[in-house]
Amino acid sequence: MDISYIINELGEDRELYFNAVAPPIMQTSNFRVGTVAALKELFDDEYSGYLYSRGLNPTVEILRKKLAALDGAEDCLVFNSGAAATFAAVLANVGAGDHIVSVERPYTWSARMFDVVLPRFGVTTTYIDGTQIENFERAILPNTRVIYLESPNSWEFKLQDLRAVAELARAENIITIVDNSYCTSLLQRPIEMGIDIAMQTATKYIGGHSDALGGVLTGSGAMMKKIFDSEYLNIGSGIQPFNAWLLLRGLRTMPARLERIAATTRQVTEFLKGHPRVERVLFPFDETFPQYELATRQMQGACGLLSFYVRATEMGQIVRLCESLRHIMMAVSWGGHESLILPRCASLDPVQFDPSNDEHRMLRLYTGLEDAGYLIADLEQAFLKAW
C-alpha cells in the first residue's frame, strides 16, 4: 500500500463527518446501543464494535488502521504511552514460571519491568548481547516464551539480525517482540521480517511535536485481539481520543519530517566527526558504525539520534558543553521539532567520573527540525566554552 494513501486516506470515512478533511475527536466515554441483541454481541466480544472508549473508539480506529498498514501488519493497538504498550505485549505472552530472553540494556522501563515487576510473578529474564545470533541460541531454555529485542537501541544503537532471530524463535515456538522506536515503520518493518509484535513509542516521531504521549503495537489479528481482551481492557491504558487525534495530525507530516531530520543528522554527524574534541561518533548509517552492514541491510534509513564520545578529562567539560548550548535543549526523549542533548554522566556524582570509561564521556544528540547550520553553530560555540 502506498504510504501517501495510508497517511492521507486510509481509514477516513469523511462522508460520515460532513466531508471534513480532519477527522473529529470522538470525545465520548460510551456509545448508545440500539438493541439488546447488539448489546449481548458487544458483551460477548468487545472487539466487535463500539461499547465503551476503554475499548474501541472511532478516532483511535483511524490511527490503528494507518499504523497497522504502515507496518504491513494485520492489526494494531494504540496505548497511552510506549511503556504501556511494551508492558501489555510482554504480559500477554508470559505466565508464572516462564522465562524471557532480552537484549541487554533495553529502554529503562522495559528493564524495570524485567528486573522488578515480572520477578514478583515468577517470570525471569536472561540478558544477552543481541549482536550475535549464537547468544540467543545459548540463552533459550525449555520455558522461554518471549524474546525481547530493541533494534537499534537508543544510546549505542546496537542491532539484532531481526530475520535470523525471528526464524530461530519460530522454530522454538517463542514469541518475538521488538522495540522499533528508533526507526518507526518508515525506516524498518519488523513484521515483514517475521517478528511477531512490533512496538514503538508514538511519543517521538509519530507525534512529532513533543506534546503527546502514545505507544503502538502491531502484529497478527489474533495477537492484537488476545492483548485487547486482556491487558488493553484490564489495565485501561488505551490512548484517549484527543491524543489519538494529535498523533494522526503528526502522522500527516512524518515522512517529510524524517527526511529533513535525516539530512540534518548527516551534516551534524560530519561536523562532529571532524571536531578535535570528539573522539568518535555512533550513527547506524555512518560507514564507521560497527554494524553498518546489518543496518543498511535491514533498515531503510537512520534518523535523528546519534551518540558521540568527547575527549574529556574531567566531568566539568561535559557539564559546560551541555550548559553552554543556546538552542539545543538538555532533555530526555526525541522525535519532536526541537534538538536535544543528553550527557550519559548525568547519572554520576562528579567524583565517580572516570575519563578512561568511554561511557562517562558519551553524549546523545537528537537533531530536530532546525537548520543544520544553526545547530552546528550552537555546538561549535559550546565546545569553545567547555574546554
CB closer to ligand PLP out of 217 and 318: 217
C-alpha cell at 216: 503502538
CB 123 within 8 A of CB 145: no
Q: Smallest gap, in angstroms, from Cβ of residue 109 to ligand PLP? A: 6
Q: Smallest gap, in angstroms, from Cβ of residue 181 to ligand PLP? A: 4
C-alpha span between 164 and 298 (Å, rounded) = 11
C-alpha span between 377 and 383 (Å, rounded) = 10
CB 219 within 8 A of CB 196: yes
Q: Smallest gap, in angstroms, from Cβ of residue 111 to ligand PLP? A: 11
CB closer to ligand PLP out of 214 and 312: 214
CB closer to ligand PLP out of 141 and 332: 332
C-alpha span between 88 and 82 (Å, rounded) = 10
C-alpha span between 336 and 350 (Å, rounded) = 30
The residue sitting closest to ligand PLP, measured at its beta carbon, is: 82
C-alpha span between 149 and 162 (Å, rounded) = 9
Q: Smallest gap, in angstroms, from Cβ of residue 237 to ligand PLP? A: 10
Which among 78, 108, 47 has a CA at the least distance from the CA of 217? 78
CB closer to ligand PLP out of 184 and 291: 184
Cβ neighbours of residue 90 under 8 Å, at least 6 residues apart? 100, 113, 118, 146, 148, 177
Cβ neighbours of residue 5 under 8 Å, at least 6 residues apart? none
CB closer to ligand PLP out of 51 and 215: 215
Q: Smallest gap, in angstroms, from Cβ of residue 232 to ligand PLP? A: 15
CB closer to ligand PLP out of 201 and 367: 201
DSSP string, 255-285: HHHHHHHHHHHHHHHHHHHT-TTEEEEE-TT
The count of residues in the chain is 387
CB closer to ligand PLP out of 105 and 311: 105
Q: Smallest gap, in angstroms, from Cβ of residue 98 to ligand PLP? A: 22
The residues of the shown chain that bind ligand PLP, judged by CB under 6 A, are: 81-83, 107, 154, 179, 181, 201, 203, 213, 215, 333
Helices 241-252 and 254-273, packing angle to 10 deg: 70
Q: Smallest gap, in angstroms, from Cβ of residue 207 to ligand PLP? A: 9
CB closer to ligand PLP out of 284 and 382: 284
C-alpha cell at 385: 566554552
C-alpha span between 53 and 30 (Å, rounded) = 6
C-alpha span between 183 and 72 (Å, rounded) = 15
Q: Smallest gap, in angstroms, from Cβ of residue 268 to ligand PLP? A: 20
